[in-house]
Amino acid sequence: MLEEIKQNEIVNEEEVKTTEAAETQAETVETLADSTETQVETAETQDDAAKTEEDFGQMLDESNFDAAQVMEGDQVTGKIVNISDTYIFVSLGDKLDGIADKADYLDAEGNFTLEIGNELTGYVVRRGESETIIAPSFSKANATQAMLIEAYEGKVPVKGRVISAIKGGFAIDVLEARGFCPQSQMDLRPVHDSSEFIGNEFDFLIIDLDERGMNVVVSRRKLLDKEREVLRKATLSQLEVGATMQGRVTRLTTFGAFVDLGGLEGLLHISEMDWSRVDSPSDVLNIGDEIEVKVIKLQGERISLSRRALLPNPLDEALKDINVDDIVSCRIVKNETFGSFAEIQPGVQGLIPISEMKRGRRIAKPSEVVKVGDLVSVKVLRVDLENRKISLSLKALEADPWDTIDDFLHKGQVVAGVIDGVTDFGVFIKLRDGLTGLLPKGKMKLGKLDITKENIGQEQSVRVAHIDTDRQRISLEPTEMEGQAIDQNDTSDWWRYAKQSWKSNKDESPFQDL
């Protein structure tokens, strides 16, 4: 029994070995088959690659024609890559692009039916470094070139339409060709807004063209210069002081406006724009306005103009209604060293002299009292119909202390005032609003007073020496003077001195030199 079991185990082991060998052999065969298949696929891939490379080379040869060999007159075909409002852009291969006029490829009904991706055939009518122009007919292109050459050589103006703004200038459609107008040649003045020209048609002069009728450069400014010179001569023949001219506003500045009179420009100063005050020229005028002006000054070709000279002067009517002693409200419009100008009504101004600014106060400049824009009430002092001037006063509406001076100020009275000003002949001392007295320099020496400009604003005690109510002047003395024994309660000695001093100097006035 044991022998049988062993025998069976041996048989089974041999069967297992036989089976494993068979499987190994099968795997080997399969591996060989896979290897063979891989070799076949590799060979096929190499064949395909070689074939593809051969096809690509053939395709490249077919599509990549020698652009350098393309000459004017050659027929070419390309694919449309873009279409604008005016032009068709065509790819001719090898980085060679062509441009065709859209109008040349309309159908019999005048419609444009081509689309991006369509093929377009035409003749090379112009070959440049940056672009190639193609057209359906070479003879038409030749005719265009002939016309361009004729216009260039004869300096004949040609019509052109501004297509677009490009670097340095504008693309111009002229005589069915594409031209270029430098920005400086588009107008008489620098171009700030290109959009105002695009789409418009103007006359141009061809200023540059090569011998083949290519590279068309045009100028509008040269024609405008010629027109301006003709107008200038005509304007000069009419120009004289007092002449009334029609003009167009060309420029606005902070100080006025420049007006084209026809080949010549004149300056309309801001002060001559209107009778009323003008803060900015743009408040009254706009560029392009047609206005009537009067020539008021000529200096060579420098022309001064006035617009207000042709407008009714509101002062004429105002002078009839404004009377002396009237109290009116007005606005301060300008401060000068000698006074302030105030606008009583639009276009009507009066002067407030610096002496009429404030009672009892010495004013160095009007801005100490009023500022531009202030609304004030004034009294009309004078109306000068002949010279068309109105004088006004601020201080006339202030209470006048001279009307009641006897109630609070007497000769010989000791008073305290504030030093208001120092001059070579004495010191002004403000006693109260509207009342200022003069302490003469000679009297200061007697009183041993040393007052300088550094003392302005300080308080100073003085004695009233004299009151001149007619001339509204007050003469002052020091409270104590050398060689004078003055009793504060007994002024008999002071009165004798004052009487003698005043009698001997009755013709002398400390205000004479003011």
How far is 10 from 4, CA to CA, in rounded Å?
A: 10
Pairing label, strands 435-440, 473-477: parallel
Q: Yes or no: is domain 239-310 CATH 2.40.50.140?
A: yes
For residue 304, list its beta bridge partners. Answer: 267, 297
Q: What end-to-end distance do the CA atoms of the chain give, in Å?
A: 165
Amino acid found at 400: D
Residue 70 has pLDDT above 60, yes or no: yes
| DSSP-derived secondary structure for 314-372 | HHHHHHHH--TT-EEEEEEEEEETTEEEEEEETTEEEEEEGGGS-TT---SSGGGT--T
The Cα 452–Cα 454 span in angstroms is 5
Mean pLDDT confidence for 13-26: 45
pLDDT value at 54 more than 50: no
Q: Which of 16-25, 156-165, 256-265, 392-401 has the lowest mean pLDDT?
A: 16-25
Residue 213 banded pLDDT, cuts 50, 70, 90: low
**pLDDT tops 90 at residue 338:** yes
Query: Quick one: pLDDT band at residue 239, thresholds 50, 70, 90?
Result: confident
Amino acid identity, residue 32? L
Please give the DSSP secondary-structure letter assigned to residue 46: H
**pLDDT exceeds cutoff 70 at 461:** yes
On average, the pLDDT of the chain sits at: 78
Phi-psi region of 66 (alpha: psi -120 to 50; beta: other; left: phi over 0): beta
**CATH superfamily placement of domain 328-397:** Nucleic acid-binding proteins (2.40.50.140)
Average pLDDT over residues 122-148: 74
53 pLDDT tier (thresholds 50, 70, 90): very low
Task: Compare 274 and 8 and report the one with higher pLDDT.
Answer: 274
Beta partners for residue 219, in sequence order:
205
Q: Give the pLDDT band (50/70/90) at residue 139.
A: low
CA 18 to chain centre: 106
Query: What is the mean pLDDT of the segment spanning 54-69?
Result: 44
What are the residues whose beta carbons fall under 8 Å from the beta carbon of 123, sequence distance 6 or more?
73, 74, 75, 76, 134, 135, 136, 137, 138, 141
- Look at residue 54 and give its three-state secondary structure: helix
Question: Using 50, 70 and 90 to split pLDDT, how confident is the model at 123?
Answer: confident
Phi/psi at 249 (5° precision)? -70, 120
Average pLDDT value for residue range 35-49: 44
Beta strand pairing call for 290-299 and 375-384: unpaired
Per-residue confidence (pLDDT) for residue 49, from 0 to 100: 40
Lowest mean pLDDT among 65-74, 398-407, 498-507: 498-507
User: What is the structure's pLDDT at 364?
Assistant: 86
pLDDT value, residue 129: 66
Q: Which CATH number fits domain 74-136: 2.40.50.140, 2.40.128.720, 3.40.50.300, 3.30.300.30?
A: 2.40.50.140
CATH 2.40.50.140: which residues of the chain? 74-136, 140-224, 239-310, 328-397, 401-501
Per-residue pLDDT band for 507 (boundaries 50, 70, 90) equals: very low
- As its CATH architecture, domain 140-224 has Beta Barrel (2.40)
* Alpha helices, DSSP H, located in 420-476: 441-446
CA atoms within 13 A on the CB side of 1: 0
pLDDT digits (tens, 9 = 90+) for 462-505: 999 999 988 888 999 999 886 554 444 433 333 433 444 444 44
Per-residue confidence (pLDDT) for residue 109, from 0 to 100: 80
Q: Say whether pLDDT at 38 is over 90.
A: no
pLDDT-derived band at 320, boundaries 50, 70, 90? confident
| Burial of residue 101, with CB atoms counted within 10 A of its CB: 0-12 exposed, 13-18 middle, 19 or more buried | buried
Q: How does pLDDT run across 166-184, given as a tens digit for each residue?
A: 888 998 888 877 889 999 9
User: Does CATH place domain 401-501 in 2.40.50.140?
Assistant: yes
Give whichever of 71-80, 139-148, 420-429 has the largest mean pLDDT: 420-429
DSSP labels, 363-390: -SSGGGT--TT-EEEEEEEEEETTTTEE
